[in-house]
Amino acid sequence: QLQLQESGPGVVRPSETLSLTCTVSGGSISSGYYWGWIRQTPGKGLEWVATAYYTGSKYYNPSLKSRVTISVDTSRKFFSLNLFSVTASDTGLYYCARGDENLYGDYVTWYFDLWGRGTMVVVSS
Amino acid sequence: EVVLTQSPGTLSLSPGERATLSCRASQSIYNSFLAWYQFKPGQAPRLLIFGASSRVRGVPDRFSGGGSGTDFTLTISRLEPEDFAVYYCQQYGSSPPLTFGGGTKVEI
């Protein structure tokens, strides 16, 4: 059974880069599903951050696009998120999840059928 | 951006009772592309419903989803002790970004 497990630093200093990894076990990361990050912050609640496909397609929340990158490492079966120039408002619980593809016009969109338990990130000096 | 408003914020019920949760969108959701999730502390969130009314395999049939356009509901016909949790709706039927509602807590 496929499982997702987030890992991260726990605490990040303001203005630095947050790097998170999601390890995929029990299944293939090249299976035709998408892979995404969703966060839950006190200020905005649940917020979609980014989604990627193993072939290299990447999609970002427009509100975060200038500060975030997502990547999929098919050989090592994990995907990762980098969030640059963090501030206190980036403090929250970060989830990785598997996305099921749907099409809205020219857009690819997803619901998330499998999630990790989340990793807590605190931005503090 | 589509805003999803969930109501009520908290639903206080007893086991065996019926729970009706509402999710209202700021604009019509294409093709009823709406999902419902169950969140419990320390656990991985669980997808319950997608496409507004399609139940995920393995989800008990006491969970049902309905609605279209801008108004959607999640109904739990008879609450079991394990159903007390926070429930979120998410729309994926608009231009980016996909968005989530603010959640409804179902408490004993």
DSSP letters spanning A28-60: -TTSS-EEEEEEEETTTEEEEEEEE-TTS-EEE
Are B100 and A112 contacting, i.e. CB atoms less than 8 angstroms apart?
no
pLDDT at A31: 84
Amino acid at A123: V
Contact at CB, B98 and A109, closer than 8 angstroms: yes
* Residue in B with minimal Cα distance to A39: B100
d(CA B101, CA B17): 24
Are B87 and B39 contacting, i.e. CB atoms less than 8 angstroms apart?
yes
φ and ψ at residue B82, rounded to 5 degrees: -75, -5
Distance from CA of A111 to the nearest CA of B (A): 7
d(CA A1, CA A94): 22
pLDDT at A105: 87
Please name the residue ranges forming H helices in B34-76.
none
**Partners of B90 in beta bridges:** B35, B100
- pLDDT at A22 > cutoff 80: yes
Amino acid at A36: G
- pLDDT at B96 > cutoff 90: no
Angle at A67 between CA A33 and CA B92, to 5 degrees: 40
pLDDT at A74: 81
Amino acid at B65: G
Could you read off the pLDDT of A23-65 as tens digits, one per residue?
999 998 988 899 999 999 999 999 999 999 999 999 999 999 9
Which band of pLDDT confidence, cut at 50, 70 and 90, is reported for residue A9?
very high
d(CA B28, CA A110): 17
Contact at CB, A117 and B35, closer than 8 angstroms: no
Could you read off the pLDDT of A113-122 as tens digits, one per residue?
999 999 999 9
d(CA A39, CA A45): 8
Q: Which residues of A, range 54-113, sit inside 8 Å of B by Cβ?
A: 59, 61-63, 95, 97, 100, 102, 104-105, 107, 109-113
* Residue in A with minimal Cα distance to B29: A104
Contacts of B47 in chain A (CB under 8 A): 111-115
Question: Which residue, among B51, B83, B49, B79, has the nearest Cα to B64 in the 3D structure?
Answer: B49
Distance from CA of B49 to the nearest CA of A (A): 9
* Residue in B with minimal Cα distance to A3: B44
Q: Categorise residue B53: left if φ over 0, alpha if ψ from -120 to 50, beta otherwise.
A: alpha
Contacts of A116 in chain B (CB under 8 A): 44
Average pLDDT, chain B: 97
Residue B46, token pair as written in the block: 């669980």
Share of chain B above pLDDT 70, in %: 100
Residue B15, token pair as written in the block: 């086991």
Contact at CB, B44 and A63, closer than 8 angstroms: no
Residue A40, token pair as written in the block: 């839950």
Contacts of A33 in chain B (CB under 8 A): none
Contact at CB, B97 and A116, closer than 8 angstroms: no
